[in-house]
């Protein structure tokens, strides 16, 4: 199967998970078409935008940082993220992510069901 970029659904979520500003999502694969997963998307946060703190119960989320810099709250611990970093959150842990840089923060988000 081939899914071309022009076929991917895009959406903008305002104040995603009670975050700041807008999160722009490009759904790489529709979650309904992925066995054992519910999300595979490229997310762009403009400077100052964020996704608010939220838990992952019975699933694990992976953020793969592609461009830009940001900060995550990793289950209560603040850490910086840069291109090439991977953030893994599951087992009931919580996380949030914010763009703290001067350019867009772009990352892939993949949620695998436990």
CATH classification at residue 49: 2.60.120.10
39, part of any domain: yes
pTM: 0.96
Please say if the pLDDT value at position 31 is more than 80.
no
What pLDDT does 49 receive?
A: 98
| Residue numbers of the domain that contains 72 | 10-85+97-113
91, part of any domain: no
5, part of any domain: no
Write out the two tokens for 17: 């998970």
**Structural domain count, the chain:** 1
What pLDDT does 34 receive?
A: 84
Please say if the pLDDT value at position 33 is more than 90.
no
Q: What is the pLDDT of residues 87-103, one digit of tens each?
A: 999 999 999 999 999 99
42, part of any domain: yes
Write out the two tokens for 96: 């949030």
Query: How many H helices and E strands in the chain?
Result: 0, 10
Please say if the pLDDT value at position 32 is more than 90.
no
85 pLDDT band (50/70/90 cuts)?
A: very high
């Amino acid at each position: 199967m081939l899914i071309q970029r022009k076929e991917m659904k895009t959406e903008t979520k305002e104040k995603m998970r009670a975050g700041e500003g807008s999160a722009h999502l490009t759904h790489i694969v529709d979650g309904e078409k992925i066995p054992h997963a519910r999300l595979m998307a490229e997310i762009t946060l403009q400077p100052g935008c964020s996704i608010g703190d939220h838990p992952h119960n019975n699933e694990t989320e992976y953020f793969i940082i592609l461009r830009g810099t940001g900060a995550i709250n990793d289950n209560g611990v603040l850490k910086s993220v840069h291109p090439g970093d991977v953030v893994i959150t599951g087992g009931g842990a919580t996380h949030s992510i914010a763009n703290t840089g001067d350019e867009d923060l772009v990352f892939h988000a993949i949620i695998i069901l436990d």
